[in-house]
Amino acid sequence: MMLHIPGVLSAEQVRQCREVLDAAHWIDGNATSGMQSAQVKRNEQLPEGSAAARTVGRAIEDALASHARFFSAALPLKVFPPLFNRYAGGDGFGTHVDNAIRLLRGSDFRVRSDLSATLFLADPESYDGGELCVDDTYGTHRVKLPAGDLVLYPASSLHRVTPVTRGVRVASFFWIQSMVRDDAGRSLLYQLDNDIQRLNAQQGTNDPTVVSLTGIYHNLLRRWADV
């Protein structure tokens, strides 16, 4: 499942994050690349564990923790601390797949990358190119979202970022280990949850159908969850 989640950060929150990021020291993005990614990656990255990365990362984590749609779609068990990259002057990232396991440097914290997330932190009109292209069985999906919006997609997907030919593309990226490993099962639960919420708004919490579907949702989650 690939999902656009709007408004994870407000315009004011984006402005505050960009103030911190724009004043920070950036390094070659290949400092964190694996062997395959290093062949196709041209961008800059905020050093992991830097003060700026921690400050903005905490703001993003706080926003995600209170975002019902993100929780419903991702069913997060563990979230890798947000990382940050920027592209300019022809920078891009060729086709690659994310590592299955992500390790937090200097710790024993690790995440199985079930889902990849990109949170856009630059207005799309401020740069040319920089589209996130995700391949699946239905073709290639091209994503370039408003600042503050997030896209979720399976980490197993082949994806790339097209070269930025004008302006600067700034984004946060991170990975989620879901309570439900299987993407198809997770998608079904998300659809069921959405239908329950719509029916609840129409019929009320005590409607027998709402109660029954809620029970089905939780019994499926109980069957599939790995916690």
Query: Which comes out higher in pLDDT, residue 173 or 105?
Result: 173
Residue 204, pLDDT score: 87
What pTM was estimated for this model as a whole?
Answer: 0.94
Return the pLDDT at 190: 98
* CB contact at 8 A, 209 and 203: yes
User: Is pLDDT of 140 > 70?
Assistant: yes
Per the prediction, the chain carries an average pLDDT of: 95
Distance of CA 160 to the CA centre of its chain: 14
Q: Which two tokens stand for residue 135?
A: 């391949």
Tell me the pLDDT tens digit for each residue of 89-103: 999 999 999 999 999
Tens digits of per-residue pLDDT, 30-56? 766 555 666 789 999 999 989 999 999
**Dihedral of alpha carbons 92, 168, 81, 30, sign:** positive
- Whole-Å CA distances, 196 to 47, 52, 100, 205, 224: 42, 40, 32, 9, 19
Kindly report the number of other CB atoms within 10 A of residue 9's CB atom.
Answer: 24
